[in-house]
Amino acid sequence: MQPIQIFSNTLGEEELEAVRKVFESKWLGIGKETEAFENEFAEKVGAKYALATNNCTSALFISIKTLDIGPGDEVIIPSIHFVGAANAIIDAGATPVFADVDPVYFNITASEIDRLRTKNTRAVMLLHYGGHPCDFDAIKDACGGLYIIEDSANSIVSTYKGKNCGTLGDIGCFSFDPMKMLVTGDGGMMTFNRESLYKKAKLLRYFGIVDQSSGLEAIKSGRSDWWEFDLGCISERYVPNDITSAIGRVQLKKLDGFIARRKEIWERYQTAIYDKHIALPPEPLCDTTSSYYLYWIRTSKRLEMAKRLFENNIYTTFRYFPLHLVKQYRSGERLPIAEEANKMALNLPLHQNLSDEDVDRIIKCLSI
């Protein structure tokens, strides 16, 4: 039997042609392709500004620094979240405060924000789990002026009441790694609706250099000392390049088709999986749409099912291991819903490269 992967991507001749053109240009660094990708992505998701990065984790690191979050500050974050999110908070000298999640959606709740908020809380970093948007209005009310960073790595074109995830809070962060829906090899994007945040993030993206125009542009503007520079802050280098951006521009045109196929597979699972030991995931909240990044079942027989699927060349996993259980973080929290999810939840394959026969095989293996 051919193996069925849990994640996959769709790259073809159009992406190769886009890369070929970048090679022919002799400029492989950040340039016109990246600028075009940023503009096209901003238009796609309805953001005023978009800023490409070398990966989503970089976007999260930049987000924390852009909002001046540092020592003594706290950031509330759902425990079911990616490790890079917590690392970004800790790297800035702030403290991640791990929150429990909704037992069905695995998203952060307003009640947890109310419970955990202190005078030191500066922000909430949320995740729209699996592509299903959080109950954002309730969360915004609970935040009451706190910054909101949206990790939209799962929710690239998910919408909440007509607005795209990643444009609801102060900063949105997206991922284009090999396991995501839009793939550039690696890469990320930040979105903003406030110019001041966009400009500061752009400064942080490239060492903190104030004037980031090229030497050639400086010469054309009349500067005779184009090699001199100044720093507005101290930062690292998080820029992407025109190779990945060229791929991203092609992928962006295909994205809606990818999501449509993923939705078809989701609906097939929802109607065809029958087992008294399996609880199916919920449909998106009212007035929202999903990007269908993850499909998660819950079962007391998780290990048994995962082993059976693996023996039939079907790979499964659970995203994401609760962060409060990571020993390095020394949390000491007890978050019963996240811990139960860690014992019972299993992600099945969900991507546009699955054939109908693949889906039928997965469903059959679940019900043996």
- CA dist., res. 288 & res. 285, Å (int): 6
CA dist 65 to 78, 161, 194, 196, 197, Å? 20, 29, 16, 13, 10
Which parts of the chain fold into alpha helices (H)? Answer: 13-25, 32-45, 56-66, 83-91, 110-116, 136-143, 195-205, 215-220, 242-272, 302-311, 336-344, 356-366
pLDDT digits (tens, 9 = 90+) for 94-135: 999 999 999 999 999 999 999 999 999 999 999 999 999 999
> Tell me, what's the pLDDT at 112?
98
- Tokens 């499964």 -> residue: 316
pLDDT in tens, 125-135: 999 999 999 99
The pLDDT value recorded for residue 218 is 72
DSSP string, 65-127: HHTT--TT-EEEEESSS-HHHHHHHHHTT-EEEEE-B-TTT--B-HHHHHHH--TTEEEEEEE
What is the model's pLDDT at position 213?
75
**pLDDT value, residue 245:** 98
Provide DSSP, 153-170: TT-TT-EETTEETTSSSS
- Which domains are assigned to the chain? 13-253 (3.40.640.10), 255-366 (3.90.1150.10)
Helix axes 242-272, 356-366, angle to 10 degrees: 50
Burial 292-302 (b: 16+ CB within 10 A, else e): bbbbbbbbeeb
Output the tens digit of pLDDT for each of the chain's 368 residues. Answer: 899 999 999 999 999 999 999 999 999 999 999 999 999 999 999 999 999 999 999 999 999 999 999 999 999 999 999 999 999 999 999 999 999 999 999 999 999 999 999 999 999 999 999 999 999 999 999 999 999 999 999 999 999 999 999 999 999 999 999 999 999 999 999 999 999 999 999 999 999 999 877 767 777 777 777 788 898 999 999 999 999 999 999 999 999 999 999 999 999 999 999 988 999 999 999 999 999 999 999 999 999 999 999 999 999 999 999 999 999 999 999 999 999 999 999 999 999 999 999 999 999 999 86
Question: Residue 368 has what pLDDT?
Answer: 66
Any idea how long the chain is? 368
Three-class DSSP category at 347: strand
Q: Judging by DSSP bridges, how do beta strands 147-151 and 49-53 pair with one another?
A: unpaired
